[in-house]
Structures are given as structure tokens and as C-alpha cells.
Amino acid sequence: MYELDREALDDVLESVYQDITTVADSLDDAELMRPSRCAGWAVGDVLYHLLLDARRALRTFASPAAGTPDVDYVTYWRHYAPDQGADESAAHARHVRIVAAAYPPGALAWEWRETSAAACRAARACPHQTVTTQGLVLTTTDFIATVATEAAVHYLDLTVSLTDDRVPPPDPAALALVRQVLDGLLGTPMPGGWDDQTYALKGTGRLAVTEQERAAIGELAGRLPLFG
């Protein structure tokens, strides 16, 4: 695995969160109802899911852990494999759909903007070496990497139907981080020549792997998606 740089990860998180803010601030009510890459989720649903993650980050940065880390920025995702927690995922999807739909016009984007900015400030200011979240212990650096990874993937979900000039291109450093995570879960660099964005989409099940790609990848194709 790669050695993570705390300051660089702070920058990655801030960059991808700012890109989400730029998009969120431009969306009208009709655009919030457009489909995302997450099956059954609208754009507004993904934005609310991201808001929940930013809130969790704020709690985590204020939750120092006494024990040693039991997961890192790669092994964390083994707890969220696509075939795990189907009932819990369905319940979360229902919650997200109901709550996201209840926000008045402009309120979801406003809360995302304020909360995500606070989470980035908290990331830079967090003095703790290890933190706890969702019953797991990580170094603070590894935790920031998990939040940035999730945001990078969901940015691709959020913007699938938004193709105009309002949408910044995905942050290259964030997509490179997603590649590190996917390669770490796979245990080897992915062959086949995918660029970082394509790998992020296919490695998380957002895009199907073609028969030609399966032939190039070999038996590794059977392990996709690596997380959902």
C-alpha cells in the first residue's frame, strides 16, 4: 500500500467537497430529481447521503480512540462489500429518499455547503492520532482517506446526468486515491489500461465490465465490484 500524506489528503477532501458544493449550489428542484448512478437514487438523494457522511466526519474528528487501529483506508471498505448488509442498505435508502424529499428548495444545498466546509476545517484541525467511527478505529489520516474516497465515487454518481459547464471535472488526486483503494482491495494493480475514472466506475459496479475487458483482466474480473 501507499504511504498516505495527511496534508495532501486534507487538500483532496477539500477539493472534492468543494466540487460537490459547486454542483449542489447550481441545481434546481427538477435537477435534484434526476437519476444518479446509484440505482433507485435521485441526485438529491446522493447529496443527502453525502451530507450524512460529512456529519459523521464532524463527529469522528471529535471522537479520539483509545485503542490501536483495526482497519486502514483500504481494509475499511471490506466492511461495505456489495453483498453485505442488504436489509440495512434498503432501510438506509428509504431514509435517504424520505428525508431528501422533505427539504425545502435550496435548503439541502445550503446545509451541505455549511457542513462540508466545517468538516474540512475539522479535518485540518483534528489533533488526534486515532479516531473511531462506526465501531471501527482508524488513524485520522486513514479516516480522512475513507471520507475522500466515498466523496470521489459519489461525485461521479451525482453528476452522471449533469454535463454542462457548471460541473467541474472529477479531481484527479481524488480518483487516484480511489485507484489506490481498489488496488489495495484487489491485492494487485488492475491490468487492462483503465483510466482512474473508468476504474472507479467499474471497480465499484457503476459500469459493467465488458466481455473484451474480462478477457484482458482475467480471473480478477470475477472479484468486481470491490465495494459499492
**In whole angstroms, what is the distance from residue 127 CA to residue 39 CA?**
38
Q: Assess if residue 228 is contained within a domain.
A: no
pLDDT at site 3:
82
**Sequence letter at residue 69:** P
Q: Assess if residue 67 is contained within a domain.
A: yes
pLDDT at site 165:
84
Q: How many domains does the chain have?
A: 1
How do residues 162-194 score in pLDDT, each as one tens digit?
878 889 999 999 999 999 999 999 999 999 899
Cβ atoms 141, 6 nearer than 8 A = yes
Question: How many percent of the chain have pLDDT more than 70?
Answer: 97
How do residues 199-227 score in pLDDT, each as one tens digit?
999 999 999 999 999 999 999 999 999 99
Alpha helices in the chain (DSSP H): 6-26, 29-32, 43-61, 86-102, 107-125, 140-158, 172-186, 196-203, 211-217
pLDDT tier at 87, thresholds 50, 70, 90:
confident
Question: Where in the sequence is the domain holding 84, given as residue range(s)?
Answer: 6-223
Q: Assess if residue 175 is contained within a domain.
A: yes
**In whole angstroms, what is the distance from residue 36 CA to residue 64 CA?**
35
User: How many angstroms separate the Cα of 71 from the Cα of each of 144, 145, 152?
Assistant: 13, 12, 20
**In whole angstroms, what is the distance from residue 185 CA to residue 84 CA?**
16
How do residues 114-157 score in pLDDT, each as one tens digit?
999 999 999 999 999 999 999 999 999 999 999 999 999 999 99
Q: Assess if residue 1 is contained within a domain.
A: no
What is the DSSP code string of 69-105?
Answer: -S--TTGGGGGG-TTS-HHHHHHHHHHHHHHHHHSPT
CATH number for the domain including 89? 1.20.120.450
3 state SS of 131: strand
Count the helix, strand and coil residues of the chain and give each as a percent rounded to the nearest 5.
60, 5, 35
Q: At which residue does the C-alpha cell 465501531 appear?
A: 135
Cβ neighbours of residue 30 closer than 8 Å, sequence gap 6 or more: none
Q: What is the DSSP letter of 176?
A: H
Q: Assess if residue 55 is contained within a domain.
A: yes
How do residues 46-80 score in pLDDT, each as one tens digit?
999 999 999 999 999 999 999 899 999 999 999 87
